Amino acid sequence: MSKAAGMTRSGPAPILAWRYNKKRMEKTAAIAFAMAMLFGVFSVVHWFGAAMALFVAGLGVTSLVQANSKKPVLSVGPDGLFYARFSARPVPWSEIAEVVVVRGVRRGVAWGKVYYAPSPMSDEISFSLKSYDGYSGALRNALRGFRAMMGLPGVRCVVWHLDAQVDDVARAIDAHWRGAIQDKVPRDGRVETTPWTGTPPPIA
């Protein structure tokens, strides 16, 4: 793909959009409601259980609403990158400083040895802006600061909840954004970084 002005070899790069995956969001809602019931039982002995039951039930309701939403959550086009959970308007490509594919990694132990395996449920496409003016908020700033400490970009988009694969989103971005996308693999408190190639790096 050409990196010039959002062009591909066959012409202008199309606008691509992804919505919530209905089945995955319904599964998330079912898990949330099950947890709410467990917390509800705990509420008999402590008020904290009731508070957590209400909170988790709210997450379940939100997941059901999202499961039936027809609105795009993430889209990529000539005007920029739109992520509904971050901004109500597209972020222009000129404002984006960094784009990273963050690979989900699962840690396990077998026969006394630690091993690592891909965890696609945790894959994310993340980005940082040159300036967050107009996108500010105490919670967002705190979360961005925490991610910066981990060596990760400030805005996180987990793609498992969407009808998307992380490398497909990265390819769409690569058709418009002039920068170089990076691949990051968090593991044991460190982050391994390599240039993004469209193929997941080996996870040993």
Digitized pLDDT (tens) for each residue of the chain, 204 residues in all: 445 555 554 556 678 999 999 998 899 889 989 998 888 887 767 778 788 889 989 988 988 898 898 899 999 999 999 998 888 889 999 999 999 999 988 888 888 787 788 888 899 999 998 888 877 666 676 677 777 777 778 888 999 999 889 999 999 999 999 999 999 988 777 788 999 999 888 876
pLDDT recorded at residue 167: 95
- With the C-alpha atoms ordered 152, 154, 159, 165, is the resulting torsion angle positive or negative? negative
How far is the C-alpha of 30 from the C-alpha of 44, rounded, in Å? Answer: 22
> Contact at 8 Å (CB) between 189 and 173?
no
Looking at residue 94, what is its pLDDT?
A: 95
Q: What is the pLDDT of residue 2?
A: 43
Q: Where in the chain are the domains?
A: 97-204
- Enumerate residues 6+ apart whose C-beta is below 8 A from 175: 1, 2, 6, 7, 8, 13, 76
- Phi and psi at 8, nearest 5°, equal -110, 175
What are the tokens at 178? 């002039």
Is residue 53 within 8 A of residue 39, CB to CB? The reply is yes
